[in-house]
Structure 1
């Protein structure tokens, strides 16, 4: 996978957020980008469809996480997800279904996985992995793997489920939705870079 994702030596460490020009100082700009990423994830999380028998709904949340990670890069992507979690824990109602949460949520593992996935996807995007549909799809899949690796074991523990049931209710039932989100990202992110190139931005 690493060789597949490190194919663009011209990419440097730039991500889409680096192309945004706003009249702010450097620190204020970084804070604004991180806050915007958290807000976008919270907005995407409100697209929520309950899954029968599962405490974990289908949401636009993971799409927001991976999109933000790719757009902001590793450090800002992880910071944005950390802000999203912390604000949700203290009462901002922007988890799935307009909820805020305690640390006893069955979905806590997935939420923690968001930070790691934001960092991973951001790092890969810094290496140019969001500039073609194929590499973007692989990058988004890698981010999903990280989220599930954190979320499913915690779901099994917190909901007192056998691991086989946790895998079914916390992973398998979401694979089709994840595939659709990956396809959407594979068109959106390379399309944004192409648009920037056509306008002479970032070259």
Structure 2
């Protein structure tokens, strides 16, 4: 083995790591993360030209992903999905179940939260530009199952699915990415950038 072997990537803390405790903290954070996504996701605006409402759920997923890290964030979203499919009114406008045109976007929350958590572990939530880029990448991940589910659920083709399931949300998602890019590095500055 050579002395020039690459060193492992630096593993940084996410915001939740600075709290004391371990298992109880993690369980409380998972439940709180699910509640945050469910609560903020209730802020929904129905749009007359699409069965997908405009919500702040994506913004909540970005915050939960970066603040909790990949595992806790993914568990938070998995909990949200499980209770939503079981009948709890945790999806936009108090909806539940899986028979929704927008359910694919909720499925996309899981890999998006894990991705942003992973990127935050690598320090992507410490600067405005890197946080914005990470938030855009995570949002793109939400669109993949969202559009696929929308196509299957409504029977529309790819072009129409993009027209009703992506295009109307691009500006709002850009604003959410900017919001996350301002909020997350700001939170680290308030904490003194603990590592």
TM-score, normalised with respect to structure 2: 0.92
Q: What is the CA-CA distance between 1:11 and the residue it aligns to? A: 6.1
Q: How does 1:30-49 map to 2 (within 5 A)?
A: 30-49=26-45
| Equivalent of 1:175 in 159, 170, 177 | 170
The 3-state SS of whatever aligns with 1:97 is helix
Give the match's secondary structure for 1:73.
helix
For 1:160-202, what per-residue CA distance to the aligned partner results, in whole angstroms no more than 9, with x for missing partners? 11111100110000011111111111100000000000xxx72
CA offset digits 1:45-95 (Å, max 9, x no partner): 111001112110000001011110110001111111000110111122121
Spell out the pairing of 1:116-131 with structure 2 (5 A cutoff): 116-131=111-126
The correspondence for 1:62, drawn from 49, 58, 64, is: 58
Instruction: Say whether residues 1:50 and 2:36 are aligned partners.
Output: no
CA distances 1:135-160 after superposition (whole Å, capped 9, x unpaired): 00000000011000111011011101
CA RMSD of aligned residues (A): 1.6
In 1: Cα distance, 2:149 partner to 2:92 partner: 18
Runs of 4+ in 1 over 4 A off after TM superposition: none
Distance 1:141 1:20 in 2: 27
1:130: how far off?
Answer: 0.4
1:190 lines up with 2:185 in the alignment = yes
Residues paired across the two proteins, number: 188
- Structure 1: gaps spanning 5 or more residues: 1-8
Structure 2 residues without counterparts, runs of 5 or longer: 1-7
Partner of 1:72: 68
Q: CA deviation at 1:34?
A: 0.4
Query: Which secondary structure does the structure 2 equivalent of 1:43 belong to?
Result: helix
TM-fit CA distance, 1:19: 1.3
1:122 Cα deviation from its structure 2 partner: 0.4
Q: Identify which of 62, 79, 82 aligns with 1:83.
A: 79
Note the C-alpha offset of 1:12: 2.6
Aligned partner (choices 78, 95, 103) of residue 108 of structure 1: 103
